[in-house]
Amino acid sequence: MATPIVRSANPVTLVGGSDLLGADLNEALMVGSMLVAADGGAATALSLGHLPDAVIGDFDSLEDDVRKRIPRDRLHHVPEQETTDFDKALRHIAAPLVLAVGFTGRRVDHELATYNSLIRNSDRRTIVIGEHDICFHLPAELKLELIAGTRVSLFPLARMRCFSAGLTWPTAGLVFDPTGRVGTSNIAASDIVVLRPEARGMLVILPRSALGPAVRSLLG
């Protein structure tokens, strides 16, 4: 496990270099007021009027003019080239929850790598916030308070079963597999949904409107 660069007793917002609106970043900052930028995400933060509390990455996409605007003690260089800047930043943050914005919607390879990092760093509870959806790794057990009718998608990145209660289509007994059965477009049948995977590697995808319930559940 990497030594934390950023430690916080409260949620942290992590910003990347993909396109995002100021409203997206502001919504995340309402939950996690400490702002960390993954490499080139520093430019995004500055363009939206926010000075990062820390910048973590290999700095291959951190332009000189951006670097000069950030205090030197907030720049944390992680030189290895084996992982993405999202992964570098995530594994060096110790916080109860990370809200990640600016990591979806531009490059498919980078976005897929982001979801891979959610599994690789499953001990770092993280919600990736996109334009329409949110995504997070399913912990050993999760109780979600949702509005009945909310879309609840389960996408496996490993072969497993996953117990559920409160879904329109029960999952008990089903074997999920990234090369076979996936669980997209299930629906909350009641206001309480319980999920319990038998292994690590299940992603939960919810509408953006379910961010509040997801934050409360993952912090609970």
For the domain bounded by 142-219, which CATH number is listed?
2.60.120.320
Whole-angstrom CA distances from 103 to 42, 72, 146, 218 are: 13, 25, 25, 20
Residue boundaries of the structural domains of the chain: 6-131, 142-219
| pLDDT digit string (tens) for the chain, length 220 residues | 678 999 999 999 999 988 788 889 999 999 999 999 999 999 999 999 999 999 999 898 888 999 999 999 999 999 887 889 999 999 999 999 999 999 998 789 989 999 999 999 999 999 999 999 999 999 999 999 999 999 999 999 999 999 999 999 999 899 999 999 999 999 999 999 999 999 999 999 999 999 999 999 999 8
Tokens 């080239």, residue located: 81
Helix, strand, coil % in the chain, rounded to nearest 5: 25, 30, 45
CATH 1.10.10.10 fits 6-131, yes or no: no
- Residue 62: name the closest of 50, 80, 46, 48 by CA: 46
CB 10 within 8 A of CB 96: yes
Q: How many CB atoms lie within 10 A of CB 151?
A: 16
Q: By three-state DSSP, how is residue 76 classified?
A: strand
